[in-house]
């Protein structure tokens, strides 16, 4: 997916690629707190998501103050895309489960972005 948003200070448009998951109409993605682009979505912002070749307007917000919610969705996300665990500094046990301590730590630093379609 590509997410296009407007910079709060510059007013310029930016586009960044991210892997995403769907939950009904809600689209979710993750980024690291170290990346700065997500700050443009704090408090909510209109964005355009290009999914499967179609540009659709959405309203996105960050979930960066609820580690339990981030943990819940990060665990689900990594169940679908276990190869992304390394990006979140989460090790995988021999039984392919996530190392609990790593998941807990990453849940405090990962940024969850939730987007709803604009009607």
CA-atom Rg of the chain in angstroms: 14
Is residue 70's pLDDT more than 80? yes
Span 17-56, pLDDT tens digits: 999 999 999 999 999 888 999 999 999 999 999 999 999 9
Q: Where are the domains positioned within the chain? A: 2-117
Is CATH 2.30.110.10 the classification given to domain 2-117? Answer: yes
User: 32: closest CA among 3, 69, 74, 4?
Assistant: 74
pLDDT-derived band at 118 (thresholds 50, 70, 90) equals very high
Report how far residue 106's alpha carbon sits from residue 95's, in angstroms, rounded to the nearest whole number: 20
Report how far residue 92's alpha carbon sits from residue 69's, in angstroms, rounded to the nearest whole number: 21
| pTM, two decimal places | 0.92
Structure tokens at 70: 């981030």
């Amino acid at each position: 997916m590509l997410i296009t948003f407007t910079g709060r200070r510059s007013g310029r448009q930016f586009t960044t690629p991210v892997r995403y998951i769907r939950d009904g109409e809600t689209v979710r993605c993750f980024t690291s707190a170290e990346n700065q682009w997500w700050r443009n979505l704090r408090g909510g912002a209109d964005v355009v998501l290009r999914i499967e070749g179609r540009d659709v307007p959405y309203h996105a917000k960050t979930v960066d103050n609820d580690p339990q919610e981030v943990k819940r969705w990060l665990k689900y996300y990594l169940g679908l895309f276990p190869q992304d665990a390394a990006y979140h500094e989460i090790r995988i046990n021999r039984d392919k489960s996530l190392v609990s301590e790593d998941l807990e730590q990453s849940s405090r630093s990962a940024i969850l972005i939730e987007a709803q379609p604009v009607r």
